[in-house]
Amino acid sequence: MSNRQEPAPSGFTRRSFLQGMGAGALAAGAGVLSPKIANGAPQDAAKPGLCGPDPVPVTLELNGKKVTLPLEPRVTLLDALRNHLDLTGAKKVCDRATCGACTVLMDGKAVYSCTVLAIEAQGRKIETVEGLAESNQGIAAMQRCFVENDAQQCGFCTPGFVMACESFRRSHPKAARNEVLEGLGGNLCRCGTYHGVTQAVLDAIRGGK
Amino acid sequence: MELAWPDPKDTTVLGKRILRLDGPDKTTGRAKYTYDTNRPRMLWAKYATCPHGHARVKSVDVDAAQKMAGVVAIEVLAPAGSELNVAFSEVAIVAAESEEVAREAVRRIQVEYEVLPHNVVDDDPQLAGASAKPGKANVAGDPDAAFKEAAAVSETEVGCSIITHCCMESHGSAVEVAADGKSLTAWCSTQAISGKNGRFANEAGIGDASTSVAICQHMGGGFGSKFDIDAWGAWAAKLSARTKRPVKVMLERDMELALAGSRPSAFARMRVGCKEDGTVTAWESEAWGSGGNGGGLGVNQLPYVFGNVPNKRTRTTPITTNTGEQRAWRAPSHPQMALLTMAAMSDCAAELGMDELDFFKKNLGYTQRAKVYEEELNLAADLIDWKKKWVPRGDQADGVRHGLGLSIHTWGGGGHDSNVQCTIHPDGAVEIACGTQDLGVGTRTALAIVAAETLGLPLEKIKVSIGDSRLPPSGGSGGSTTIGGISSASRDACVQAANALFEKVAPDLGGDPKKLVAKGGKVYAADNEAKAIPWDVACRSIGAQPQVTTGTQQRSLMQQGVGGAQAAEVEVDVETGIVRVLKLVAVQDCGRIIDLLTAESQVRGALIMGVCSALYEERIMDPVTGTLLNPDMEFYKLAGIADVGELVVKMMETPEHLGRGVVGLGEPPVISPMAAISNAVANAIGARVARCPMTPDRVLAAVGKKKGA
């Protein structure tokens, strides 16, 4: 992989920067900040820790279990889950942190996993839609509320919505309808399931689940 | 047992609010879509695309990409000399070990272009020049005389931009050709799975559909754009055959928005003349717009719904543009025709100084189903509190204004060809198999509901298999034809199954199979419920082998032709131009209802999609470069959860409506929202916003024009 050249300047975006870092886009040399630094450890400007572009061992704390796998540093958390671990609940839709279909929880907070590098997610507790179900005998209360309110049609936005709603419910245990509408603006649906989603969150909150 | 649908009063699950069967799979992430396909040694394929609206390829250099570790195959699709007519057209495809490598390889492909003249202007026939092809005027009656005699004549100019399908699951397939090259399995995000095995087998050079399988267990939206395997499906098959490895091709969002289907734009200048009492006597429309690179427009039946206006002159001018081709988009042409017609009718009512509701009702004689519309308009008016809240267009105070608007619509429906197999096992287990697909509307659940109702069993007892080309063939899901086809075929298969079973158990139940019923998990003679046999016991009489019956679509159980009425309530801030939908009401007839819950969900979804096209979404082309300016979901805007207001859905459930056959719901409710919202905004600000989506700049322009600014 060391024979990689500068990516073509056309189509160079913030995101291609993120994913292309392993391609030697940094003047300092091919690589990204090491996991230790990415995790917020004090940074030594003189000796930046670098790794990549070849695969490096990445350890994720995923649904309560530690998993280590070799990943290129440019691999997003979403692609690590979907393409490397076959956890395909989180979906790739906009791939630009707009639609929320890729939402997972990182230390309990909803994040767009399409815009988090897997390497950055080390040391964080990652919870996916599959994990939420597993830790609740196959289906969690929020997921059941979705089913009961017919809050899914094609279902492609649903796992992301479920995770965003679950995060919202945990942080807003007494939210009213208008807060729900404000709090869930980060997820999009095309079939038009918002009515059911709103009801599902309100039911889950009411149930204190 | 008779084939006819049972009396709605006597049903247990049919027509009730039944939760969809695949809800738990979808909410827990267990549901597997095409995009979720992961196969051992699978390759990812990505496209290099053209950045120009119209160009000729001078050279393609794939050397740098070819040399990259992890690149397995590259195919140049547009070699030197190729002319490309649309931005994001395919130039080359790369198959690589990972998604990241495939993307990077695409960036390293060097292409030189000769940029050619383009046209992306679809909203002005003059500017579009030779790309605009004016049609012939169609004249009925004597419009000139009718306009002269009219008590009021209104003028309207309104239209809507090109929008795309923007399916949450992008278009694509994954194909795995077997090691011996003689068979394949394809996973395809499609609206029509039956027969797709043959399409993939052909592209892979297998030449035998019988050894190939196509699968679509779940799919993330199609809306009319996913009938074919498309070039990208074909390339998944070809590359898999060539590399002897599974290959997945899913379009990146930009390519999906640019190429994978769109709804034509439509604009019109219209005049409507009416009598003192509101009866419309004259119609004139000059319409234009674009279906993209292939041309086509489709709004040639104006006025919409009120088609029998006696004196009319209409003309349409399709414009060819260097933008992605149109595909069927829910209710093709109808939402656009509804916007043009309902806006012109609403403006005529305002010109005359008449209540829009009264004006619409006054002219229902020009429609095909006056009685249904009258009933529905009255209901919609009640549900939105029209009589209390409606005020004429005029001088509301500045600041936030309030408005109400109406629209009515129609659609055909009918059921497509369908085969459903019902297997009853000697232990009482029931399987329903049909090569249909569930686009998210509840097809799987509908099949189970019909079977459960017909066989008198709880839903949990019915195992449904769909989404596989090996199952009995069923039609593609388009034009609201799925529910009619699959529900009537399921009824047919299960009635045959019940009657065959009744023949076998009749000796134990009074001897006359015609008197037997299956209800509540039991089989008994209608006049002797006390002597009932439990279902599982009755099924033992089937013998050693399972009993199999196959049903087909039944004309007597399905129908076409529905009407719907919708009302919108909005707030418009005339200082910022921001429109807020407060409430939408949809009153919809769809004949016999199979699942009231999923029917209501589908109508609500259609209302939300209508809010998107009324206020947010449009394909924005750059006239200078000819490229798509918003090829992502940040700027190709969809409504969010807080943008849709209160949604009220009223399904027509009178005995008269339920007594009809089953009619599909995919198209009808999506037709009217844009028109009703446009009328509500006009009611609020006293002027017509010239274009949907009604973005703040367009609203302010309309406000300014009215003030003479």
**Residue at B68: amino acid letter:** M
Kindly report which listed range (A6-10, A87-91, B315-319) carries the lowest average pLDDT score.
A6-10
Residues 51-110 of A with CB under 8 A from B: 72, 74-75, 79, 82-83, 86-96, 98-99, 101
Task: Give B688 to chain A, closest Cα distance, Å.
Answer: 27
Kindly report which listed range (A39-43, B167-171, B660-664) carries the lowest average pLDDT score.
A39-43
If you average pLDDT over residues A68-91, what whole number do you get?
97
Best of A127, A145, A153, A157 to substitute, by most chain B Cβ atoms within 10 angstroms, is A153
Best of B49, B63, B67, B168 to substitute, by most chain A Cβ atoms within 10 angstroms, is B168
Edge-first strand listing for the sheet containing B280-289: B138-140, B311-318, B280-289, B266-274, B152-160, B691-692
Q: Six-digit token pair at B127?
A: 């500017």
Q: Which residues in chain A are contacts of B27 at CB distance < 8 A? A: 129, 139, 143-144, 146-147, 151-152, 155, 158-159, 162
State residue A48's pLDDT score: 61
CB contact under 8 A, B35 and A90: no
Separation of alpha carbons A106 and A120, rounded Å: 11
Are B204 and B275 spatial neighbours (Cβ–Cβ below 8 Å)?
no
Segment A21-45, tens digit of pLDDT: 443 333 333 344 444 444 444 444 4
pLDDT mean across residues, chain B: 97
CB contact under 8 A, A187 and B641: yes
H-helix segments, B139-249: 143-149, 196-203, 230-243
Residues 189-228 of B with CB under 8 A from A: 218-221, 223
CB contact under 8 A, B29 and A185: no
Give the angle subtended at the CA of B613 by the CAs of B315 and A147, to the nearest 5°. 140
Kindly report which listed range (B308-317, B356-365, B388-397) carries the lowest average pLDDT score.
B388-397
pLDDT mean across residues, chain A: 84
State residue B706's pLDDT score: 85
CB contact under 8 A, B602 and A153: yes
Task: Give B8 to chain A, closest Cα distance, Å.
Answer: 23
Separation of alpha carbons B296 and B283, rounded Å: 23
Separation of alpha carbons B350 and B328, rounded Å: 34
Separation of alpha carbons B495 and B297, rounded Å: 44
Segment B273-319, tens digit of pLDDT: 999 999 999 999 999 999 999 878 888 899 999 999 999 999 999 99
State residue A208's pLDDT score: 63
**Residue at B155: amino acid letter:** E
State residue A17's pLDDT score: 45
Q: Is A176 on the interface with B (CB under 8 A)?
A: no
Q: Is B582 on the interface with A (CB under 8 A)?
A: no
State residue B709's pLDDT score: 54
Separation of alpha carbons B513 and B246, rounded Å: 53
Q: Report helix, strand or coil for B165.
A: coil
If you average pLDDT over residues B59-87, what whole number do you get?
98
Segment B111-132, tens digit of pLDDT: 999 999 999 999 999 999 999 9
Q: How far is CA A77 from CA A18, A91, B115, B147, in A?
A: 12, 12, 39, 65
CB contact under 8 A, B641 and A79: no
Q: Model-level pTM?
A: 0.94
Calculate what percentage of chain B has a pLDDT beyond 70.
100
State the number of CA atoms in the 13 A half-sphere of B77 facing the CB: 21
Residue among B36, B110, B601 whose CB faces A196 most closely = B601
CB contact under 8 A, B38 and A88: yes
Segment A157-182, tens digit of pLDDT: 999 999 999 999 999 999 999 999 99
Please state the φ and ψ torsions of residue B601, each to the nearest 5 degrees. Answer: -60, -40
Using the structure block, give the residue that is written with the tokens 């940094």: A26
State residue A49's pLDDT score: 72
Chain-centroid distance of CA B580 in Å reads: 24
pLDDT band of B207, cuts 50, 70, 90 = confident
Q: How far is CA B204 from CA A108, B185, B244, B610, B664, in A?
A: 46, 11, 11, 40, 35
Residue A57, pLDDT above cutoff 50? yes
State residue A23's pLDDT score: 38
ipTM > 0.90, yes or no? yes
Cis peptide before A53 (omega within 30 of 0): yes
Short-list A36, A7, A34, CA closest to A19: A7
Edge-first strand listing for the sheet containing B528-534: B516-519, B522-525, B528-534
State residue B319's pLDDT score: 96
Residue A71, pLDDT above cutoff 60? yes
Q: Report helix, strand or coil for B197.
A: helix
> What contacts B219, CB < 8 A, 6 or more positions away?
A154, B33, B34, B169, B189, B190, B191, B226, B437, B438, B439, B440
Segment B489-534, tens digit of pLDDT: 999 999 999 999 999 999 999 999 999 999 999 999 999 999 999 9
Calculate what percentage of chain A has a pLDDT beyond 90.
73
Separation of alpha carbons B241 and B180, rounded Å: 10
Separation of alpha carbons B34 and B172, rounded Å: 7
- Print burial letters for B381-395: b (CB count within 10 Å at least 16), e (below 16): bebbebeeebeebee
Q: Which residues in chain A are contacts of B107 at CB distance < 8 A? A: 7-8, 10-11, 16, 20
Q: Is A196 on the interface with B (CB under 8 A)?
A: yes
Q: Is B666 on the interface with A (CB under 8 A)?
A: no
More confident residue, B161 or A10: B161
Residue among B20, B168, B639 whose CB faces A156 most closely = B168
> What contacts B633, CB < 8 A, 6 or more positions away?
A93, A94, A96, A98, A99, A188, B166, B253
Q: Is A21 on the interface with B (CB under 8 A)?
A: no
CB contact under 8 A, B605 and A153: yes
